[in-house]
């Protein structure tokens, strides 16, 4: 079995009376595509927030590539190779698509206390940015202002920016949210490619995509991981069916 | 970045040319008031340009920017009073002190956003204002006359009003050039990214705080230099240099001229200060025409006209005057 890349140990987070994470433990080996599913409000986004450092857990530890990152600020986790995409699109709306991605490249190309040379003319930023755009299918939209992109293109750009930081692990928070069927299919194809290169933590409601892509799946309900296992195991897990998949029988449809 | 011939560029070129010709015009009409007015305009345009760097490009709306005008001015005034008149000492020291004050204010205020940031920068500026008021040795409330302008050992004579005007203008052009380089550099990309979406900036790996702080310090130093010039221009320092209404004026200049536009603050400074001079005159003339006799008090109401004008610009021209010019189609 491959080395462990991400190790979440007993992480808990409470917002007032709401328990968003309850003693969550999870091990993701390098190279795995690990999906997290669970109903709305289960605490999936909160978990990602704790992995990236935007939210501080009340208890527990997070280890990434053998380092305890629980107390590291967000930008340092990015430097270590953790990259996220946002469920609710979070981009630089007033800049061009290429500028957005070039900024992500720049963040990982030394410090930015460089005051003189025009950044937009630096191929060392533009070329990798264009490559990340090509990868996520946005090459032809490079010079468009981000505000003019469609929703689906925003989702693609979210991924391009994560890729441009040259990460070891991608944390994708519902990358397909709000996409049409065609766009979704293209994204599934892309994720299938990315899976070969990156360790991925994928949060997704599209069960078809999840069961097609995931090596393993964890099911989160009310902040608790009620099951972790291979897709086939999750599909037949009685507790999962009862708590989450049961009535709608979403899983059965994809057997 | 090849400049195109647009209405906007033509306007800016004309404005810069006009600024360079002000001393000629002053000699021609034999009136020194115009030169003095425009020296003040150019100096405040430098201050507004520095505010635009943090406010227009960095999204940091400082309501205490006049504090650096005061700091730079007091550095010159105090040193002159203590017998140190060399500009080679005064000017660098003024910049260092302005930068240091910006550093402290920045560290304590840049963790906040929006209204809180506005209020904290205002509070710090008020503190510095009251420090100046309490300096009894240096004139307290009444201020301090500067008997010798900064000396540069015969290199340049600041007491020559034309020379001094051109020095200010060159420094203004230099500041605009500096801001242009900065905002297009990697550093500038970080500053603008942070204005646009600080959360995303941190997520992609930027420690944004230190960049914003550095930007805040650079702006403080440029504004400190404007303060140095202002003290030399008026041969006088007083707490009024950094009254909070002055900070407000600087914001108005930036918004009126165009936030995040290189020449916007200069356009705004010219527009605001020329209107301030011209409106009372226009009103008194109009008053005489309408009523048939002098209405001396009417000109006191010039702000009643300026206010709505500002409101119109803010409501209908988001990019200020420069934005309006840019929206005129090419040609
Ligand atoms: N910043 C916050 N303050 C208070 N409650 C929050 C906050 N963030 C999330 N929550 C609550 O925590 C729970 C989990 O939310 P979230 O992680 O967004 O769920 P999911 O992504 O699985 O839909 C929800 O009940 C949500 O209302
Ligand atoms: Mg969520």
Chain B positions touching A115 (Cβ under 8 A) are: 181-182, 185, 187-188
Per-residue confidence (pLDDT) for residue B39, from 0 to 100: 98
Prediction ipTM score: 0.90
Q: Is residue B202 less than 8 Å (CB to CB) from chain A?
A: yes
Of the pLDDT bands very low, low, confident and very high (cuts 50, 70, 90), residue B89 is: very high
- Non-local (6+) Cβ contacts of B122 within 8 A are B63, B64, B244, B247
Per-residue confidence (pLDDT) for residue A248, from 0 to 100: 53
Q: Give the count of beta carbons closer than 10 Å to the beta carbon of residue A228.
A: 18
Whether B232 is in a domain gets the answer yes
Q: What percent of chain B has pLDDT over 70?
A: 97
Q: Given strand A33-37, what is the order of strands in its sheet?
A: A82-85, A169-173, A199-203, A33-37, A216-221, A224-229
Q: How many domains, chain B?
A: 1
Strands A59-64 and A4-15: antiparallel
Ligand number with the minimum distance to the CA of A174: 2
Cβ of A44 below 6 Å from ligand 1:
yes
**Which residue out of A16, A38, A42, A43 has the highest number of ligand 1 atoms within 8 Å of its CB and is therefore the one to mutate?**
A43
Contact A108 B214 (CB under 8 A): no
Per-residue confidence (pLDDT) for residue B2, from 0 to 100: 58
Domain ranges of chain A: 1-81+167-255, 89-166
Whether B167 is in a domain gets the answer yes
Residue B45 scores a pLDDT above 50: yes
Of the pLDDT bands very low, low, confident and very high (cuts 50, 70, 90), residue B330 is: very low
Distance to chain B for A183, nearest Cα, Å: 24
A192 alpha carbon – ligand 2 mean position (Å): 22
Q: How far apart are the first and last CA of chain A?
A: 27
Whether B270 is in a domain gets the answer no
Residue B312 scores a pLDDT above 90: no
Q: Is residue B209 less than 8 Å (CB to CB) from chain A?
A: no
- Per residue of chain A (255 residues), give pLDDT as tens: 578 999 999 999 999 999 999 999 999 999 999 999 999 999 999 999 999 999 999 999 999 998 999 999 999 999 999 999 999 889 999 999 999 999 999 999 999 999 999 999 999 999 999 999 999 999 999 999 999 999 999 999 999 999 999 999 999 999 998 888 898 999 999 999 999 999 999 999 888 899 999 999 999 999 999 999 999 999 888 888 887 655 555 544 443
A204 alpha carbon – ligand 1 mean position (Å): 16
**Class of CATH domain A1-81+167-255:** alpha beta
Whose alpha carbon is nearest atom 12 of ligand 1? Answer: A20
Please tell me which of the candidates B185, B204, B205 has its beta carbon nearest to residue A119: B185
Per-residue confidence (pLDDT) for residue B249, from 0 to 100: 94
Contact A103 B189 (CB under 8 A): yes
pLDDT (tens digit per residue) in B236-255: 999 999 999 999 999 999 99
Reference A26, options A59, A58, A62, A50; nearest CA is A62
Residue B61 scores a pLDDT above 70: yes
Secondary structure in 3-state letters for A78-102: HHHCEEEECCCCCCCCCCEHHHHHH
Domain limits at B129? 19-256
Which H or E element spans position A15?
Answer: strand A4-15
């Amino acid at each position: 079995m491959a080395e462990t890349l991400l190790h979440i140990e007993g992480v808990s987070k409470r917002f007032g009376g709401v328990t968003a994470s309850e003693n969550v433990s999870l091990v993701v080996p390098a190279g795995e595509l690990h999906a997290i599913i669970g109903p709305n409000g289960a605490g999936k986004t909160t978990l990602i927030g704790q992995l990236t450092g935007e939210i501080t857990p009340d208890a527990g530890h997070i280890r990434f590539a053998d380092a305890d990152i629980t107390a590291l600020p967000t930008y340092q986790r990015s430097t270590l190779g953790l990259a996220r995409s946002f469920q609710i699109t979070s981009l630089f709306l007033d800049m061009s698509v290429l500028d957005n991605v070039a900024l992500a490249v720049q963040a990982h190309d030394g410090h930015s206390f460089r005051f003189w040379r025009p950044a937009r003319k630096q191929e060392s930023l533009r070329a990798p940015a264009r490559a990340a755009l090509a990868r996520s299918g946005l090459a032809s939209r490079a010079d468009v202002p981000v505000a003019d992109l469609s929703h689906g293109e925003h989702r693609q750009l979210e991924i391009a920016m994560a890729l441009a930081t040259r990460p070891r692990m991608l944390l994708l928070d519902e990358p397909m949210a709000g996409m049409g069927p065609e766009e979704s299919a293209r994204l599934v194809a892309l994720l299938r490619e990315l899976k070969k290169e990156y360790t991925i933590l994928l949060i997704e409601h599209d069960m078809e995509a999840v069961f097609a892509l995931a090596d393993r799946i964890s099911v989160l309900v009310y902040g608790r991981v009620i099951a972790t296992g291979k897709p086939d195991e999750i599909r037949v897990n009685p507790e999962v069916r009862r708590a989450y998949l049961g009535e709608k029988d979403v899983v059965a449809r994809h057997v | 970045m090849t400049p195109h011939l647009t209405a906007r560029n033509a306007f800016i070129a004309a404005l810069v040319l006009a600024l360079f010709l002000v001393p000629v015009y002053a000699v021609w009409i034999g009136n020194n008031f115009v030169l003095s007015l425009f020296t003040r305009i150019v100096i405040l345009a430098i201050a507004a340009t520095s505010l635009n760097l943090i406010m227009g490009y960095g999204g940091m709306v400082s309501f205490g920017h006049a504090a650096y005008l005061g700091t730079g001015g007091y550095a010159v005034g105090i040193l002159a009073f203590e017998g140190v008149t060399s500009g080679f000492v005064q000017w660098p020291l003024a910049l260092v002190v302005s930068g240091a004050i910006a550093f402290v204010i920045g560290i304590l205020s840049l963790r906040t956003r929006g209204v809180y940031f506005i209020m904290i920068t205002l509070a710090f500026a008020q503190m510095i204002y009251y420090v100046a008021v309490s300096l009894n040795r240096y004139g307290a409330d009444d201020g301090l006359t500067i008997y010798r302008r900064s000396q540069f050992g015969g290199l340049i004579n600041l007491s020559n009003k034309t020379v001094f005007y051109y020095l200010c203008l060159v420094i203004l052009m230099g500041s605009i050039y500096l801001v242009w380089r900065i905002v297009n550099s990697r550093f500038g990309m970080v500053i603008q990214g942070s204005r646009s979406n600080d959360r995303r900036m941190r997520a992609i790996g930027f420690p944004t705080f230190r960049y914003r702080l550095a930007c805040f310090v650079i702006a403080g130093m440029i504004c400190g230099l404007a303060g140095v010039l202002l003290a030399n221009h008026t041969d006088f320092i007083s707490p009024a240099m950094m009254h909070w209404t002055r900070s407000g004026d600087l914001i108005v200049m930036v918004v009126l001229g165009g936030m995040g536009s290189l020449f916007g603050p200069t356009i705004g400074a010219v527009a605001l200060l020329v209107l301030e001079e011209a409106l009372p005159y226009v009103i008194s003339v109009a008053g005489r025409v309408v009523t048939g006799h002098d209405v001396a008090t009417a000109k006191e109401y010039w702000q009643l006209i300026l206010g709505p004008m500002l409101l119109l610009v803010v409501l209908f021209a988001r990019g200020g005057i420069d934005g309006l010019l840019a929206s005129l189609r090419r040609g």
